[in-house]
């Protein structure tokens, strides 16, 4: 185990998701088994084979200043919203700027701005393109804006690792503190890319659910009738800090970030590989100084694809066993890509803090090949003290995080 000086705790939580505009409503929606997935009503969706998505419950325009919003991509806007909530939840700590870092991962960054401004260029010419285009489209934009907002000068980093980005950001935050490069890190992920192009691309790849007639039933991890993920948007950020500093300022501790494991498959650009996933989980446990038997809860990556869910289920059995209570909240939010790992981490932290694991929505018939204790029907209560989260992305990116409760 790490020493007290390098023990890292979570003192702030922030989010805006398809279930709610903040952490409290997102968590309440998860426990209630709500769905944030709906039909895309815009005309552009009519010509697509996929017409469903997990859209934000609260529009950023209801929170972000109008003038500032015009200069920010949607992904940057929601990163700021989540960062402000997390920072306020941490008590707006007084910390030297040179000891505060930011790590915000994303899969596509400002894709909406890039595609939108390209449309303007093609239809109206270069003079109509926004002068803010490049800062809006660059993937490091969310991290940069959060660092400016908070005055963080110990580094502003952007892991771009597809669907593992948010979890890798939190793992990087752990490393920055353990290596002494920062005392506090605001870390997580943001994603906003609900647009015809990615929807068409995922449909062509047979990765996205086409259950257009029943959007709330479309995302069904581990179910025999799953037919693909559902694209979602949102942001989730946490405040990490040295445990001794948190204790000195009497901060509320939500959980301990005990360990992290980051690996790569070097196997296939889209197909997952068990070896890399297993190694990520084992590395995370080794980093935390824990054994597989210590894990009581697993927040699965579980996107609702035929092959992906089964590969992960087999990897969990091999790395940890069949004993943990497993859940998959993408059944309610859809797949937030670069923000998914951070939102999964937030769900695991709250499960430990509140002693309850949300049920996996739409799990009516567990795939008989999935040999896991998947929570379904209703939330499961218990004295959970250790949770592991998984995040896997195209390109063979694997990230697992281990959280524990603060010792009494």
Annotation marks residue 283 as catalytic: no
The single residue of 157, 297, 335, 397 carrying the catalytic annotation is 335
The single residue of 75, 163, 193, 283 carrying the catalytic annotation is 163
Task: Please provide the DSSP assignment of 354-366 as one string.
Answer: HTEEPPBTT-SSB
10 Å Cβ neighbour count for 138? 18
Distance CA 252, CA 250 (A): 7
The gap from C-alpha 148 to its chain's centroid, in whole angstroms, comes to 22
Q: Which helix (H) or strand (E) holds 162?
A: none
Q: Write the CB contacts of 117 (distance below 8 Å, at least 6 apart in sequence).
A: 129, 130, 133, 136, 137
Structure tokens at 393: 């992305």
CA distances from 155 to 3, 80, 172, 186 (A): 24, 17, 11, 11
Structure tokens at 7: 């023990």
The single residue of 157, 195, 208, 301 carrying the catalytic annotation is 301
Task: Please provide the DSSP assignment of 325-343 as one string.
Answer: EEE-THHHH-B-GGGHHHH
Distance CA 170, CA 222 (A): 26
Distance CA 147, CA 98 (A): 11
Neighbour-count burial for 100-135, b at 16+ CB within 10 Å, e otherwise: bbbbbbbbbbbbbbbbbbeeeeeeeeeeeeeeebeb
For residue 98, report the phi and psi dihedrals to the nearest 5 degrees: -70, -5
259 DSSP β-pair partners: 402
Query: Alpha-carbon Rg of the chain, whole angstroms?
Result: 20
Annotation marks residue 335 as catalytic: yes
Active-site positions read 163, 301, 335
């Amino acid at each position: 185990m790490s020493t007290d000086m390098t023990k890292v705790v979570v003192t702030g939580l922030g989010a805006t998701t398809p279930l709610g505009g903040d952490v409290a409503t997102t968590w309440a929606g998860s426990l209630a088994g709500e769905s944030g997935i709906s039909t895309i009503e815009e005309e552009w969706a009519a010509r697509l084979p996929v017409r469903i998505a997990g859209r934000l419950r609260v529009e950023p325009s209801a929170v972000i200043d109008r003038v500032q919003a015009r200069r920010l991509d949607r992904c940057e806007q929601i990163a700021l919203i989540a960062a402000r909530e997390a920072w306020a939840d941490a008590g707006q700590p007084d910390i030297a700027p040179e000891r505060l870092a930011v790590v915000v991962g994303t899969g596509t960054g400002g894709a909406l701005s890039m595609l939108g401004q390209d449309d303007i260029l093609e239809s109206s010419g270069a003079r109509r393109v926004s002068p803010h285009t490049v800062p809006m489209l660059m993937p490091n934009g969310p991290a940069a804006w959060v660092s400016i907002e908070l005055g963080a000068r110990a580094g502003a980093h952007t892991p771009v690792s597809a669907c593992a980005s948010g979890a890798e950001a939190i793992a990087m935050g752990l490393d920055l503190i353990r290596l002494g490069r920062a005392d506090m890190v605001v870390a997580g992920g943001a994603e906003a890319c609900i647009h015809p192009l990615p929807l068409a691309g995922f449909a062509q790849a047979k990765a996205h659910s086409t259950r257009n007639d029943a959007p709330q039933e479309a995302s069904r991890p581990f179910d025999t009738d799953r037919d693909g993920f559902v694209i979602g948007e949102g942001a989730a950020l946490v405040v990490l800090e040295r445990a001794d500093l948190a204790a000195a300022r009497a901060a509320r501790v939500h959980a301990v970030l005990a360990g992290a494991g980051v690996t790569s498959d070097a196997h296939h650009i889209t197909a997952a590989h068990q070896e890399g996933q297993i190694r990520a989980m084992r590395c995370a446990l080794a980093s935390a100084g824990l054994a597989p038997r210590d894990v009581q809860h697993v927040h699965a990556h579980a996107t609702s694809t035929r092959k992906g869910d089964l590969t992960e289920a087999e990897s969990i059995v091999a790395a940890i066993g069949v004993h943990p209570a497993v859940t998959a909240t993408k059944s309610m939010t859809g797949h937030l890509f670069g923000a998914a790992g951070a939102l999964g981490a937030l769900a695991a932290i709250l499960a430990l803090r509140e002693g309850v694991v949300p049920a996996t929505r739409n799990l009516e018939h567990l795939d008989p090949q999935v040999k896991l204790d998947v929570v379904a029907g209703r939330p499961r209560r218990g004295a959970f003290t250790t949770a592991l989260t998984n995040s896997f992305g195209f390109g063979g990116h694997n990230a697992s995080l281990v959280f524990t409760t603060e010792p009494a």
